[in-house]
Amino acid sequence: MNDLVLKPGGASLADWRAIYRGATPVLDPACRGKIAVSAEAVARIVARGEPVYGINTGFGKLASVRIPAGDLETLQRNIVLSHAAGVGEPMPVPVARLMMALKMASLAQGASGVRQEVIDLLQAMLAADVVPVVPCQGSVGASGDLAPLSHMTAVLIGVGECFTPHGRVPAAVAFVSHGLEPVTLGAKEGLALLNGTQFSTAYALAALFDAETLYQSALVAGALSTDAARGSDAPFDPRIHLLRRHRGQIETADALRALMAGSAIRESHRVGDERVQDPYCLRCQPQVMGAALDVLRKAADTLETEANGVTDNPLIFPGGDHGDDTALSGGNFHAEPVAFAADMIALAVCEIGSLSERRIAMLVDPALSGMPAFLTPKPGLNSGFMIPQVTAAALVSENKQKAYPASVDSIPTSANQEDHVSMAAHGARRLLGMVENASSVIGIEVLAAAQGCDFHAPLASSPPLEAVRYLVRAEVPHLDDDRHFHPDMEKAIALVRTRALIEAASAVALPALSGDPA
């Protein structure tokens, strides 16, 4: 992908989405002046000789220990190495790249006292696709994401491992092969790099962008299921939703109505259908999916703000000609906003998958759908969609267990100095797995809905939904007799995760997180 000019403090949600999907961030040159002024302020504070937390003292519970000027570089190196204490699997490379970009943008706002050369190294690593290997467990989301950001920072000083285009290698080897030079961290720089919410925010943003794809795919699948069940589009009438006034509900109903417009299947059942009302999984899609969209948008607003903030500690406020440079200790590293946003995303993802599973269950039940049991022409001899529905149920229940709010938990750390923590890291890190689970449920639903629509031949669905059905049938043929089901499911799930399902229905503008294209 092309380079993306990143404006520290003013990046859009679309910018962060593009970086997550592969764009290379290049800092706006206009920020260089603020970076220099901030670094010069730290140098003046050091020269004054007064004890200032994070610059010439110990850290956390050891803040009262004064460090001599000759040991300040060692102090910064020590904090990086000692805090690189994470465990678990490495962060996915796209999420780690996003974390690096978030840290780069935060430092470039001139409130962290970090020199330009340190920030330039982060940018050069991103350009060369040299990404630190960062264990994903070990942060409680307060005092910053200390352990994971320390693993990132260790690579900057030549310690640890990197993912590169040529594989996973030691940092020193990666730097030599890509013409990079490790840095020697000066006063405040190590702490500035490992302090902050960028790990939690990167995971939450990544999940948010994938949840947007999930939501839009679920709308398409839900419309196709409604047609397969010969459901009514009357519940999507705009007059209903305007009375309730929720933006997400109104936009979701509009999209569902547009997806079904012109369906011959729907038209064939307008007269003579004895059913008065459809099950909630069809009828209440605007209410449930619209509420999920509103929650995702609220989370997006929080995370966009967080991504543009400065969250390390202490923060540097240069005094300029007056000489009253100030380092203020506060708590911007506490990731409670990210924890709340992550919990909101978890709830929305859980409900999107739950509603989809109910539609699958409805389609395979002949008493509700009016179609052959388990969507097979020869039930009994064949099991059809019996067990894929069970798989969907299992995935939904797994997501329910994972959706318990992380933000209500806390555990004291650092000898009780850090006595309330956000758990944002865990709350954000669980989300990608939840989205994967729900995406698999949507993939199963798409197969079931396409199978259901097949039973209505020669009647066709709407043009957008027929385009979706054509896409599905190009990958997975109609199920006449039982066959190895797993490959079919994998192909359908891939259509969800790659946005192919959304693109097939692109004649209809689907609601998104913001006005930016998804």
Residue-wise pLDDT tens digits, 467-511: 999 999 999 999 999 999 999 999 999 999 999 999 999 999 999
Are residues 399 and 485 both part of a single domain? yes
Are residues 189 and 126 both part of a single domain? yes
CATH number at residue 60: 1.10.275.10
Are residues 188 and 242 both part of a single domain? no
Determine, yes or no, domain membership for 327.
no
Are residues 235 and 376 both part of a single domain? yes
- pTM of the entire structure? 0.96
Q: DSSP 3-state assignment of 115?
A: coil
Are residues 144 and 209 both part of a single domain? no
Average pLDDT over residues 80-107: 97
Give the end of a domain, one of 196, 221, 246: 196
Are residues 461 and 347 both part of a single domain? yes
Contacts within 8 Å (CB) and 24+ apart, 257-260: 257/233, 258/464, 258/508, 258/509, 259/219, 259/220, 259/223, 259/462, 259/464, 259/465, 259/505, 259/508, 260/223, 260/226, 260/227, 260/233, 260/236, 260/461, 260/462, 260/465
Q: Which residues are catalytic?
A: 53
Across 284-323, b (16+ Cβ under 10 Å) vs e yields: bbbbbbbbbbbbbbbbbebbbebbbbbbbbbbbebeeeee
Are residues 63 and 43 both part of a single domain? yes
Tell me, what's the pLDDT at 319?
Answer: 87
Task: List 137's β-bridge partners, or say none.
Answer: 87
At residue 338's C-alpha, the angle toward residues 332 and 344, to 5°, is: 155
- DSSP state string for 136-164: EE---SSSSSHHHHHHHHHHHTT-SEEEE
Residue-wise pLDDT tens digits, 264-283: 998 887 766 666 689 999 99
Are residues 218 and 192 both part of a single domain? no
Question: Where in the sequence is the domain holding 104, given as residue range(s)?
Answer: 3-196
Say yes or no to pLDDT of 515 above 70.
Answer: no
Domain count, the chain: 2
Are residues 25 and 56 both part of a single domain? yes
Residue 91 and residue 168: Cα distance in Å, rounded? Answer: 13
Are residues 11 and 109 both part of a single domain? yes
Residue 472 and residue 303: Cα distance in Å, rounded? Answer: 34
As given in the structure block, the two tokens for residue 343 are: 């919990």
Beta strands 3-6 and 24-27, pairing class:
parallel
Give the end of a domain, one of 144, 167, 196: 196
Are residues 24 and 159 both part of a single domain? yes
Residue-wise pLDDT tens digits, 365-391: 999 999 999 999 999 999 999 999 999
- Mean pLDDT of all residues belonging to the chain: 94
Residue type for position 405? P
Are residues 144 and 219 both part of a single domain? no
Say yes or no to pLDDT of 158 above 80.
Answer: yes
Residue-wise pLDDT tens digits, 444-463: 999 999 999 999 999 999 99
Residue 329 and residue 161: Cα distance in Å, rounded? Answer: 32
Say yes or no to pLDDT of 403 above 90.
Answer: yes
Give the end of a domain, one of 137, 170, 196: 196
Tell me, what's the pLDDT at 277?
Answer: 84
Say yes or no to pLDDT of 21 above 70.
Answer: yes
